[in-house]
Structure 1
Amino acid sequence: MIRKDALRREMQQWLAEGLIEEDQARRILARYGNGLEASGGSLGARVLTACALLFIGLALLLVVSAHWDGLPRGVRFAGLLALTVATNGVGVWRWGRHGEGGGWLFLGAVCYGASIMLVGQMYHLGEHFPNGVLLWMIGTLPVAFFSRRLLVTLLLVALTTLWMVMETPFSPPWAGIVFLGVAGWLAWRRHSNVVMLPVLAALVLWLNLMLSWVFHTDFGPHWRAGHLTFNLALLVLAQVLCQRLERRGDSRWAPLPWLGRLSLLVLLPLTFEDLWKEYLHSHWGWLDPGLWAALPLLLAAIALKPRGILPWLALAGVLLAHGLGRPEQSLYWTVAANLVVLLVAMAWIRQGLLRADQRRFFAGLGTVAVLALLRYVDLIGDYLGAALLFLVMAGILYAGARYWRQRDPEVAHD
């Protein structure tokens, strides 16, 4: 991931030394959504300002709460309305005059949400309590859309996530995708990696919550083994997309390659035998909705990368697990999962060496170390079985090293 501040300083230095022309520097920076002039101050200053405004809002709420019960109902309502209008008014004025005011708009959105909750408490409104958060989201949406302030957009994502979790026990959170779609579009337009990652995480949560309603009973939605199948397919598709987007070099997708590496943290639990026993016992076979939700994702991954090993391997594994998998086979599935994780780590090490990418190299190396530690702490089978697994893993690593040494002698020498 390229830090925009560091890149801008580097371009300014090159420009001062006469290595490049100003037009070239601007075009290079524009490729990453950056410019020669610093915009909005440093990240640290913006974070501290946002925290200061948040504390101001909390202080105001505490002052009001201390005298809340003693105030007449009309005065309370008027005070909340005035506070909300004042903070948003200052934000709109600063945004219109100076193109700033994001902090005030954020504070205004917080005051608006607090007003909704307190008015509902005063007049005993809203038997369905998630509706209060939904109204907060609806009021925050146009502010985020027209101002395009990152703080307000992050607040919208946080509120949407909270509402989805609160609404799911009662009904499917259909509306969540609308708010996440707007937030994702704003993040894409602003080249904001800080917003894009929370949006993607919330989108994954929304998909899982919707799937839980496919498994619902008279007692409400449920999380089943099919969720694991679905999320594995999501990870495979994310890995393929990350590889394609990484080649494009678009700064809007700069953090996505890390998603592929972080996804391995989700795969590590599959290296434990107990999880496989529970999974193979609980899934619904060919009738599992998680399987049918996963198949389009895996087919899309194969269409994007027909020669890729991982999508085909995942498709075969999912079909075999749901079609032929039994709890008594858990040991074999665990060993296979460990070997798959090892192969992925080896691929990362090789790619890191070929591309001189230290992050990818150390991600693969760290994965091998973590896998070895897990297998030492949690033995698969008895001592001899675990020792055999270590020997197999060592053999794979050694064979891979010899293969790379013969095929890429310059990389092996490095």
Structure 2
Amino acid sequence: MASLQGLSKIPRIPNKNYKRSGIKSYVHLLKKWGFQPTQPGPYFQLNKATETLGTFHKFGLEEELSRVLAKKTSTGEIGEVPAEDQQNDTEYLCPVQIGTPPKTFMLDFDTGSSDLWVWSSELPKETLAKAKDHNIFDPKKSCTFKVSKGSKWEIVYGDETSASGTVGTDTVTIGGIAIENQAVELANKMSPEFIEDTADGLLGLAWSTINTVTPKAVATPVENMITQKDIPSNARLFTAKLGSVHDAKDPDKGESFYTFGYIDQDEVGCHEIHYTHVDKSQGFWMFQSESATVNGKTVARNGNKAIADTGTTLALVSDETCKAIYDAIPGSKYDKDEQGYTFPSNTPTDKLPVVTFAVGSKKFAIHKKDLAFTDVGKGMVYGGIQSRGTLPFDILGDTFLKGIYAIFDQGKTRFGAVQRQDPDDHHHHTRAPHS
């Protein structure tokens, strides 16, 4: 059992290989979430006659299972989506120790999924030959590893890319907390898209109902922290502060981290944490988000829900909300070649709108600099907020989460937020991160 003194921040480390691309990030989200775009562009979901594409995100849209991501070329031909068209890399990685003796792996922390999987020595030789920068888990080198006989796992995305393998248990250490007998999913097969990612694997922080292990789903690291009493009973939670490499001159130097089992009071300060109930029925950190505002003008969204997803770089919202936001930015336009909203890179900060989204009953503002995701050339930037297409809920990814200190309270089934102030909102021009 960990004492509070033993708990520590887990740094969120910028991936030096990551290159920002608006359209590639959007294609990745089409792949991850399987929605049909409602705005024009080269990428769309093609209906397939197959019964199912395997284990897929479960959000009550059965018809999504028979779709595959496709691309329409400039000549009108329809074909597969090349790997180079997708964002296959992760912007930030977190250190996690697995095994005895412990070995460090750099993982993608994702509140939109529930699998803990790693590159393993069970992968084919030709795959391992490409793994020069990867940390590889070899179960034979850990004296605490136990095979989970008969268990297997598979993640399949909407373009039929997949990763799969075997399952075992081992000691996993996250931020000073040693979790015993944690299920670890070992990759023995993966699509080229996964091979291109700098991450050594993924650590899912959603609810275990969407874990892909069969025949029986396994508990997530946070669930095991709770049952093993590794974290205090009054703090069965984790928190996320998503800073930015572009905030190096801010007082906090753009620090980015997760905590498990405690709330960083320096981040809360004199503010009160605003909490709202989480609907975990679909396995996600989902909550009511029934209004948005653009320069104080409300966009009513009766019954609208949103999920907080650290595994999504952008924010995806309804077309009506997108239109209200970009209508408020002079010179903005929807660029069908980029399949996204863009606006002039020289837009002064005071000409950018104040955009808020509701978390339950309270509104939280996006930092103005995060309205710009990256340069797309011709003096334009790709917006950090884009269309969710046919998805029935918003995905509030890093664009939104960078504006708050987020508390994922698993014990009390609630999501908490504290607004973070951004000194850059008083600067003169949009600073889009370069790709």
Q: TM-score range by the shorter chain?
A: under 0.3
Structure with bigger helix share is 1
TM-score by length of 2: 0.23
Structure with bigger strand share is 2
TM-score by length of 1: 0.24
